[in-house]
A = this chain, B = another copy of it.
């Protein structure tokens, strides 16, 4: 049987929200799509340092199922697939902003490591 779409039962809203963003790269995908609007598969892959193709497709499919991203396939050669945020995905991103700020604060206070790669540099990080 195929994996059912995540559907609880949940204990509260945070529970439901965390279910949808938990996954090693989902937060980053959300942020990348937020800052760039539309991204192709390979662009996302390059933007996420260390992601495997399998995980990226897996996460993108789940996020599509969860109504967070649009997936548009162009019947071209070479193939082209574009991803962008749905309204719900954009709202989720908004809701994640305070969390990102808390995280940056925490990194500052505790002197934690941050990976800096050329793509991320220059853009305001969440």
User: Is A42 engaged at the interface, CB distance under 8 Å to the other chain?
Assistant: no
The answer to whether residues A20 and B106 also contact, given A9-B113, A112-B8 and a CB cut-off of 8 A, is yes
Size band of the interface chain A makes with B:
35 or more
Interface flag for A1 (CB, 8 Å): no
Task: A11-B115, A16-B112 given; name 17 further pairs at CB < 8 Å.
Answer: A7-B110, A7-B113, A8-B113, A10-B113, A11-B48, A11-B49, A11-B114, A11-B120, A12-B120, A13-B99, A13-B101, A13-B104, A13-B125, A14-B103, A16-B107, A18-B21, A95-B101
27 pairs from A and B in contact (CB 8 Å cutoff): A8-B114, A9-B113, A9-B114, A10-B113, A10-B114, A11-B49, A11-B114, A11-B120, A12-B28, A12-B103, A13-B100, A13-B102, A13-B104, A13-B125, A14-B28, A14-B103, A15-B103, A16-B103, A17-B100, A18-B99, A20-B106, A22-B22, A67-B110, A92-B102, A94-B98, A98-B98, A99-B99
